[in-house]
């Protein structure tokens, strides 16, 4: 049985401090491996909160699979997450604030949870300037791949939106958004395309400096990485401008 409190110890070794802003992409199955985690997913979320007890914890609560062109309704309190058990557990966790976005909402807890999430409804794209991911970049946060595949680094979408590669978007759609107070608004948002391209955001490590920009190590049983968000965004932008397709591989179109 794995002790979830070990998560804090392991993340401290990778440079996470108690007053940090962290954006966490996660894989619960990778963290536990062949073992069980005492207290389950809820204990993992509590351990992450304790790790940044004086900072801010941000976890994606994406819904792009269940809020789509055939179901264009997002309820900030009730629409479930489509990307795993830890994000869904975070969504339901105490004192969490969820940003308002039909496909790429994020949940935040801690010191600045409200300010990170309050303006996301203004964006016309998945990771626009009002996304908590963009705000984490501006405030010098860290990106934590907690047992998650390193290619799942959604912050790179925000950099892509600065250069607009050919594969990024297809069409925009109107969505009905149900707010916490039951008021409804309409958001018009672009959807990702990526038809003919495979995301390879793991290549960011090839242009970052190990030890300064990122560290890799084990958290429980999961291979994990902690990256400085400003380094990720700034160095990726330079690379995108050199080679728009650097962070992709071709794949057959569907």
- Determine the Cα–Cα distance for residues 228 and 230; give it in Å rounded to an integer: 6
What is residue 195's predicted lDDT score, i.e. its pLDDT?
85
Query: What is the tens place of the pLDDT at every residue in 114-172?
Result: 999 999 999 999 999 999 999 999 999 999 999 999 999 999 999 999 999 989 998 99
50-89 burial string, b = 16+ CB within 10 Å, else e?
Answer: ebbeebbbbbbbbbeeebeeeebebbbeebebbbbebbbb
What is residue 116's predicted lDDT score, i.e. its pLDDT?
98
Q: Roughly what angle, to the nearest 10 degrees, separates helices 155-163 and 229-242?
A: 40
What is residue 19's predicted lDDT score, i.e. its pLDDT?
98
Closest by Cα among 63, 61, 70, 52 to 16 = 52
For the chain, how many residues are written?
A: 254
Query: Do 104 and 131 contact (CB within 8 A), yes or no?
Result: yes
What is residue 254's predicted lDDT score, i.e. its pLDDT?
62
- pTM as predicted: 0.96
Averages of pLDDT over each 10 residues, the chain, 254 residues? 97 98 98 96 98 98 96 98 98 98 98 97 97 98 98 96 93 97 97 92 98 98 98 98 95 72
Structure tokens at 106: 């994020």
* Beta-strand relationship, 56-60 and 21-26: parallel
* Beta-strand relationship, 73-75 and 169-178: parallel
Q: What is the largest CA-CA distance in the chain?
A: 47
136-167 burial string, b = 16+ CB within 10 Å, else e?
Answer: bbeeebbbbbbbbebebbbbbbbbbbeeebeb
DSSP annotation of 93: S
């Amino acid at each position: 049985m794995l002790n979830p409190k070990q998560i804090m110890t392991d993340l401290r070794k990778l440079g996470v401090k108690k007053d940090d802003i962290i954006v966490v992409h996660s894989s619960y199955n990778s963290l536990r491996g062949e073992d069980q985690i005492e207290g389950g997913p809820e204990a993992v979320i509590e351990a992450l909160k304790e790790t940044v007890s004086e900072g801010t914890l941000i976890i994606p609560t994406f819904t792009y699979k269940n809020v789509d062109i055939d179901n264009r309704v997002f309820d900030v309190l009730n629409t479930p997450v489509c990307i795993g058990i830890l994000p869904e557990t975070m969504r339901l966790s105490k004192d969490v604030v969820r940003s308002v976005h039909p496909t790429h909402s994020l949940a935040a807890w801690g010191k600045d949870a409200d300010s990170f999430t309050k303006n996301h409804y203004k964006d016309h794209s998945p990771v626009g300037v009002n996304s908590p991911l963009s705000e984490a970049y501006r405030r010098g946060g860290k990106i934590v791949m907690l047992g998650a595949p390193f290619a799942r680094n959604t912050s790179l979408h925000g950099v892509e939106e600065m250069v607009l590669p050919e594969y990024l978007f297809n069409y925009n759609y109107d969505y009905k958004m149900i707010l916490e107070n039951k008021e409804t608004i309409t958001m018009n948002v672009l959807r990702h395309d990526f038809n003919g391209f495979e995301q390879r955001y793991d290549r960011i490590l090839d242009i970052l400096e190990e030890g300064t920009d990122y560290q890799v190590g084990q958290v429980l049983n999961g291979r994990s990485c902690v990256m400085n968000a400003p380094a990720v965004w700034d160095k990726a932008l330079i690379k995108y401008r050199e080679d728009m397709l650097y962070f992709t591989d071709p794949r057959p179109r569907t």
